[in-house]
Structure 1
Amino acid sequence: MTKSQNVLITGVSTGIGYELVKIFVEKGYNVFGSVRKQADADRLSGELGEHFHPMIFDLTDFEAIENAAKWLEGEIGSEGLGCLVNNAGIAVGGPFVDLKIEDFRQQFEVNVFGLIKVTQAFLPLLGARENHSTAPGKIMQISSVSGRMGMPFVSPYVGSKHAVEGITESLRKELLVFGIDVVLIEPGPIKTPIWKKSMDPLFDKFKNSLYLPIMKKSHEKFMGPSIENALSAEKAAEIIFKEFEKKRSSTRKVIIAQKFKNWTLPRLLPTRIVDKFLGKALGLLK
């Protein structure tokens, strides 16, 4: 069976999603990318050419997602999708004790329930149906190293990525019957606008929190340097595309700068030792 050259990527206005679209288009794929604003759709169409097709929907608008799936079925029909990249997401942060339940709800509505709805809506085009005429597609979930290793002051984001990891573990096994592969992509800090959009206003929002001095220290000692030394979105996209091209992709792909220091070593050490190190470094422990 032939492999479909159609690809759907969510959240393509900036960052990893945008860089992925550029690579797929350059490699000859027909790319459908979701954005939330008409202005972004127009800008990207002008920049990326005739092989890019914008789709406007928000991950919290389930009716719009269903309508987008129906529209795409009409556009590509029996050609199906070769890949779905669930990239769109947000990052909500702050001290757990000061966060409102609405903060957690917003985080999960986008990163978890939105991802679930998109996946369900487009699964038939990936091959989850009888008599699908092209080779089964592939699903790539853009998760995070936070899905397996949590840091302080980002508990909503960490929780959402843990949820994505668990759901994907089950989904990958269930889709074996259709031959659809599901891959977890786990980036560490990447130089993308998501952190600036979500982290910059935190100090003002939690200016009366007892955690404010510790949050500032955390940003100064860890978050700031991590982002400064992080991989670019372009490099991350190149790694993801190479993983997509593999006939047998990894079930999980960690993408992080200085991998031994930032990923392997903390996971080798006992959890309590890592907690104690962070606690002392941030002033959470005397």
Structure 2
Amino acid sequence: MTKSKNILITGASTGIGYDLAKVFVTNGYKVYGSVRKKEDGDRLSEDLGEEFEPLLFDVTDHKSVDTAAELLSQKIGSEGLGGLVNNAGIAIGGPLMDLSIDDYRHQFEVNVFGLIKVTQAFLPLLGAKHNHPVKPGKIIQISSVAGKFGMPFMSAYAGSKHALEGISDSLRRELLKYGVDVVLIEPGPIKTPIWNKGVSESDQEKFKNSAYLNSLDIFQNSIIRDAVKNAWTSEKAAKIIFGAFEAKKSKPRYALVPQRFKNWTLPKILSTRIVDKAIGKKLKLIK
């Protein structure tokens, strides 16, 4: 069976999504990228050329997702999709006791429910139907190391990525019926705009009376700063993700972690309580 060269990438306007779109276009794919603003779509079309086409929808606006899926189905028809990259996401930071239920709801609406809706809407184009005319496609889920390891003040984000990990494992097994593969990508810190949208941009009034104010400052201005300083570029991450997509037999998950032993292997080797204590001391949560 032939392989479709059509790819859909959500959250294509910046960061990993943008660089993935660039890599796919460079390698001969037709990329459809979701953007929330027409001006972003125009900018990407100019940057990436005629092999990129923007789709205007917000993953939290389910009606717009259905409309985009219908339009794309009419456009590419029997060509189908070779891949769906669920990349759109946000990171909301702050202590659980200081965040609102609405904060958590918004985090999950984007990172979990939006992703589920997009997946459901485009699954038929990926081959989740009888008599699909081309080779079944592949779903790339952009998760995070936070899906395995929750840092303080990132419970909303970590919770959404833990949910994505479980959902993706179940979905991969369900889609064995159709031959559609599901691959998890678990990046550590990557130099993308998402790091400018967490604790640092939270309304300062929200945390000014928090019992965690001092620890929040250490977290943002020490741990996050150092992590981003040593982070990979989104261009490097995009090339690795493209390689995972192109692999004849992709692994179920890929951890993209700078300083891998320190940031991935060691925390998994040590006992949870030892890691808790080390983090607690670093953030002055304990003496």
**Do these two structures clear the TM 0.5 threshold for a shared fold by scoring above it?**
yes
| One-letter amino acid matched to 1:120 | Q
Match of 2:249 in 1: 248
| One-letter amino acid matched to 1:175 | L
Match of 1:161 in 2: 161
Match of 1:130 in 2: 130
| One-letter amino acid matched to 1:49 | G
Aligned length: 286
In structure 1, list runs of 5 or more residues that go unmatched: none
Measured after TM superposition, the shift of residue 203 of structure 1 is 6.8
Deviations 1:133-168 (A, max 9, x none): 000000000000000100000110000000000000
Measured after TM superposition, the shift of residue 198 of structure 1 is 2.5
What secondary structure is seen at the aligned counterpart in 2 of 1:194? helix
Matched, 1:281 2:285: no
What secondary structure is seen at the aligned counterpart in 1 of 2:197? helix
Measured after TM superposition, the shift of residue 201 of structure 1 is 1.9
Q: 1:128-277 residue pairs with structure 2 within 5 A?
A: 128-202=128-202, 204=204, 205-277=206-278
Please tell me whether the aligned partners of residues 203 and 212 of structure 1 are also in contact (alpha carbons under 8 angstroms). no
| One-letter amino acid matched to 1:20 | L
Two-structure CA RMSD over aligned residues (Å): 0.8
Residues in 2 aligned to 1:196 and 1:218: alpha-carbon distance in whole angstroms = 14
Please tell me whether the aligned partners of residues 79 and 134 of structure 1 are also in contact (alpha carbons under 8 angstroms). yes
What secondary structure is seen at the aligned counterpart in 2 of 1:45? helix
Measured after TM superposition, the shift of residue 95 of structure 1 is 0.8
The structure 1 segments of at least 4 consecutive aligned residues displaced by more than 4 Å after TM superposition are none
Match of 1:60 in 2: 60
Residues in 2 aligned to 1:47 and 1:199: alpha-carbon distance in whole angstroms = 31
| One-letter amino acid matched to 1:147 | G
Residues in 2 aligned to 1:164 and 1:280: alpha-carbon distance in whole angstroms = 30
Please tell me whether the aligned partners of residues 16 and 238 of structure 2 are also in contact (alpha carbons under 8 angstroms). yes
Please tell me whether the aligned partners of residues 206 and 212 of structure 1 are also in contact (alpha carbons under 8 angstroms). yes
Match of 1:27 in 2: 27
Residues in 2 aligned to 1:146 and 1:185: alpha-carbon distance in whole angstroms = 11
In structure 2, list runs of 5 or more residues that go unmatched: none
Could you tell which deviates more after superposition, 82-91 or 204-213? Answer: 204-213
Between the two proteins, what is the percent identity of the paired residues?
63
Residues in 1 aligned to 2:202 and 2:5: alpha-carbon distance in whole angstroms = 42
Matched, 1:101 2:101: yes
Measured after TM superposition, the shift of residue 74 of structure 1 is 0.5
What secondary structure is seen at the aligned counterpart in 1 of 2:55? strand
What secondary structure is seen at the aligned counterpart in 2 of 1:88? coil
TM-score by length of 2: 0.98
Match of 1:43 in 2: 43
| One-letter amino acid matched to 2:273 | R
What secondary structure is seen at the aligned counterpart in 2 of 1:200? helix
Residues in 2 aligned to 1:152 and 1:119: alpha-carbon distance in whole angstroms = 30
TM-score by length of 1: 0.99
Please tell me whether the aligned partners of residues 78 and 134 of structure 1 are also in contact (alpha carbons under 8 angstroms). yes
Deviations 1:68-95 (A, max 9, x none): 0000000100000000000000001111
Residues in 1 aligned to 2:238 and 2:263: alpha-carbon distance in whole angstroms = 20
Please tell me whether the aligned partners of residues 147 and 159 of structure 2 are also in contact (alpha carbons under 8 angstroms). yes
